[in-house]
């Protein structure tokens, strides 16, 4: 069944899929890219196989402006059997979805990669809330760095976000981007049990859409 989805992918995408060691990871990548092409094709009014991409310095994909006259911006993330795509036409956007792993040593990882304030916030709540808080923080940071197009080349400690379960999603600070805490948009939600999604846009923006699918 996956073979029919591969037909609309580019050779570069198929090569990326083949780099995954486990077949389920290959399948997940292929189906996520298939869904991405189908959805973007609707926006661009073209066939899915005729959607062309460019890639930034750190690998963030954009619609190729030489092939498509559009201001469309998008970002894709997938985890387990869920893929999430954020689309807007006014600014850069980043999205991240993660499965909340109950067995993960969240506090140990936070002490290494999060800011001291974020780690202290995690320590202040119960073990159950720590797992949720950690993944809320992680997805918000990932989405933020993907919106910037820098990925994990930017230190996670240098972008601080709210993360406790009852706190609203908020960007507190980003090194080198003083405007982030008041000019950028951030959203966080759960598409299904044990999954967390975060979306970040590099301006205050209500003109956006999120599409998600299971595979």
Burial profile 56-81: b = 16 or more Cβ within 10 angstroms, e = fewer: eeeebebbeeeebeeeebbbbbbbee
Ranges of each domain in the chain: 2-51, 94-214
Query: What is the reported pLDDT for 68?
Result: 95
CB of 95 within 8 A of CB of 198? yes
How far from 35 is each of 67, 85, 138, 179, 213, CA to CA, in Å? 20, 9, 24, 33, 8
CB of 88 within 8 A of CB of 73? yes
Query: What is the reported pLDDT for 35?
Result: 95
**HSE value, Cβ hemisphere, 13 Å, CA-based, for 75:** 28
Query: What is the reported pLDDT for 1?
Result: 53
Digit-by-digit pLDDT tens for the chain (215 residues) are 567 788 899 999 999 999 999 999 899 999 999 999 999 999 999 999 999 999 988 889 999 999 999 999 999 999 988 999 999 988 999 999 999 998 899 999 999 999 999 999 999 999 889 999 999 999 999 999 999 999 878 999 999 999 999 899 999 999 999 999 999 999 999 999 999 999 999 988 777 778 777 76
Query: What is the reported pLDDT for 48?
Result: 97
Domain 94-214 fold is: Ribosomal Protein L22; Chain A (3.90.470)
Q: State the chain's maximal CA–CA distance in angstroms.
A: 52
> Helix, strand or coil for residue 48?
helix
Tokens of 213: 């699918």
Q: Please give the Cα distance from 84 to 208 (Å, whole number).
A: 13
Q: Please give the Cα distance from 133 to 118 (Å, whole number).
A: 10
Provide Rg for the chain, Cα atoms.
18
> Helix, strand or coil for residue 214?
strand
Query: What is the reported pLDDT for 66?
Result: 93
Q: Please give the Cα distance from 134 to 117 (Å, whole number).
A: 13
Query: What is the reported pLDDT for 37?
Result: 97
Q: Please give the Cα distance from 63 to 135 (Å, whole number).
A: 29
| Beta pairing class for 53-55 and 61-63 | antiparallel
Query: What is the reported pLDDT for 137?
Result: 97
Query: What is the reported pLDDT for 215?
Result: 65
């Amino acid at each position: 069944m996956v073979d029919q989805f591969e037909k609309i992918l580019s050779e570069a995408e198929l090569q990326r899929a083949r780099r995954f060691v486990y077949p389920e990871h290959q399948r997940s990548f292929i189906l996520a890219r298939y869904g991405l092409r189908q959805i973007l094709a609707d926006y661009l009014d073209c066939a899915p196989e005729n959607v062309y991409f460019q890639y930034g310095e750190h690998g963030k994909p954009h619609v190729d402006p030489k092939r498509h006259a559009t201001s469309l911006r998008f970002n894709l993330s997938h985890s387990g059997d869920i893929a999430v795509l954020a689309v807007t036409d006014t600014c850069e956007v980043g999205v991240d979805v993660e499965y909340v792993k109950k067995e993960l040593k969240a506090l140990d990882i936070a002490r290494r990669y999060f800011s001291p304030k974020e780690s202290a916030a995690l320590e202040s709540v119960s073990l159950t809330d720590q797992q949720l808080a950690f993944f809320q923080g992680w997805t918000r940071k990932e989405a933020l760095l993907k919106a910037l197009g820098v990925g994990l080349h930017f230190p996670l400690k240098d972008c601080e976000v709210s993360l406790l379960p009852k706190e609203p999603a908020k960007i507190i600070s980003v090194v080198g981007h003083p405007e982030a805490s008041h000019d950028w948009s951030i959203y966080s939600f759960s598409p299904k049990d044990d999954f967390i999604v975060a979306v970040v846009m590099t301006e205050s923006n209500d003109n956006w859409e999120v599409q998600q699918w299971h595979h």
